[in-house]
């Protein structure tokens, strides 16, 4: 029983650490997303204001390039900040997805032969047991499968698996 409780405790600790990392990732991503949205909002307002100022100056017939240039430079700075914020967001996702791979083992897809139900490696084009072609992976031609017990070919013998 001691061995069981030790394993249960280890599993629980891994689960708690996994949840802590997920929570931390969520908080960091939320902060980064909020920051990015704020920068985008400010950039949009800056561009809108630049347009309004230009319009007003053109109506008066007097363009003040210094004022327009200042607002334009501000818009460029905001664009750079937005690009940095996007990269920060990507870095957070990358860092946490790498951290979480420690806790969540990669999933393996188990494929079964539609004819004999034997386990087949995902990369195999034929069943290792009955050598039937795997649907969608038939060598040299397009595979199509009507049903596992599909129409019988009169040229096949009893020993031949379906699809040969």
> What are the tens digits of pLDDT across the range 123-144?
888 888 898 888 876 444 433 3
Total domains in the chain come to: 2
- Assess if residue 149 is contained within a domain: no
Could you tell me if 94 and 115 lie in one domain? Answer: no
Q: Are 81 and 134 part of one and the same domain?
A: no
Question: Residues 46, 75: contact at Cβ < 8 Å?
Answer: yes
Is residue 79 domain-shared with residue 135, that is, in the same domain?
A: no
pTM (2 decimals)? 0.53
Residue 77 domain boundaries: 2-101
134 CB-near residues (< 8 Å, 6+ apart):
111, 113, 120, 124, 125, 126, 127, 143
Decide: residue 129, CB within 10 A, 0-12 exposed, 13-18 middle, 19+ buried: middle
Which residue intervals of the chain are DSSP H helices?
2-60, 65-101
Question: 93 with 131, same domain?
Answer: no
> Which domain-ending residue is among 48, 77, 101?
101
pLDDT tens digits along 88-99 = 988 888 887 766
**DSSP code for 123:** T
**Sign of the dihedral defined by the CA atoms of residues 49, 50, 51, 54, in that order:** positive
Report which of residues 58 and 111 the model is more confident about: 58
């Amino acid at each position: 029983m001691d061995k069981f409780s030790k394993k249960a405790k280890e599993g629980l600790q891994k689960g708690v650490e996994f949840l802590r990392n997920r929570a931390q990732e969520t908080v960091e991503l939320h902060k980064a997303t909020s920051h990015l949205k704020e920068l985008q909002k400010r950039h949009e307002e800056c561009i809108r204001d630049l347009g309004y100022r230009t319009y007003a100056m053109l109506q008066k017939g007097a363009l003040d390039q210094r004022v327009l240039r200042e607002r334009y430079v501000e818009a460029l700075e905001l664009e750079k900040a937005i690009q940095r914020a996007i990269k920060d967001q990507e870095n957070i996702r990358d860092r946490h997805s790498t951290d979480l791979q420690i806790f969540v083992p990669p999933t393996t897809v188990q494929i079964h032969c539609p004819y004999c139900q034997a386990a087949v490696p995902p990369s195999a084009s034929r069943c290792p047991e009955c050598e039937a072609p795997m649907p969608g992976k038939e060598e040299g031609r397009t595979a199509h499968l009507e049903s596992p017990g599909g129409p019988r070919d009169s040229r096949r013998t009893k020993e031949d698996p379906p699809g040969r």
